[in-house]
Amino acid sequence: MTIRYEANPPKILPDVNTNESIQKFVEKIKIISKKCDAIHLTENVLGFQRVSPIKVGKIIREKIPDLPITISLRVRDKSESEILRFVNKCISMGFSGILILMGDPSQTGKKDSGQIPSLTVKRLREQGVDSKIDLYLSISNKPDFSKIGKKLEAKPKGFMTQVIQNIDQVEELYENLKGFSIIPILLYPSPKNEKSAEFLNLDLASYSKEFEGLLEKTQNITGDVLLTSPSDFNGLDKFLEKYTN
């Protein structure tokens, strides 16, 4: 059973000391790593400029060498050569996997490169990259399975989902994606995460009541889950302390 924690590296802001932000971020990872099995570092969520997940991942590897790290790679604003450089850095640092996704439109106005996640995975596999690091694609929490042929043909290690709303979605994904690893994402239902819940059309009150049972059932089905709590680190940390003991 694997519980992963999704961590968003610090934003790069003109009036904030980036090095101090990185230090605080790494300290949080040191704290929560005692209650989870792995972490997933995102890249420029919502298109905002953030510290590179490779940069903070390198520091975390030095501080917590046994902690498995997966990392997001957005292809929307990268060329093929930039993608390959990114992937090779991940391999050289010993990261365990890469989630290859389109990514949100850049808030800085950077143009799209035209790269497609499924084709990127296919190309990297043809280059033998998948023998050195696991490659993942993202998938909807309720996909039309008749329309995901390109994703399946790319033959990733598995799929990380959108935030799961109920156990039926987990069961349907698991049954229809045999042979692939499935890593469902669950949102920690804290009042501080209410904006995220609204964005995802989640009823936070009912989701909160079912959350622990949903987490247990999801783990039993897939053996792997990714927890996200973008606005409440302390709440999730306290929850995990109780849940994992």
The first and second tokens of residue 206, run together, are: 């009912």
Strand ranges inside 94-231, DSSP E = 97-101, 134-139, 158-163, 181-187, 224-228
- Tell me if 202 is assigned to some domain: no
**Whole-number CA gyration radius for the chain:** 17
Residues of the chain with pLDDT under 70: 47, 107-109
Domain assignment of residue 226, yes or no: no
- Return the SS3 of 3: strand
Range of the domain at 80: 2-182
Nearest partner of 8 among 74, 105, 86, 78, judged by Cα: 74
Label the pairing between strands 38-41 and 2-7.
Answer: parallel
pTM: 0.94
229 within domain boundaries: no
User: How many domains does the structure of the chain reveal?
Assistant: 1
Residues paired with residue 146 on neighbouring β-strands, in sequence order? none
* 207 occurs within a structural domain: no
Position 245 in a domain: no
Task: Give the pLDDT score at 47.
Answer: 66
Here the CATH number for the domain that contains residue 157 is 3.20.20.220
Q: What's the pLDDT at 7?
A: 97
93 falls within a domain: yes
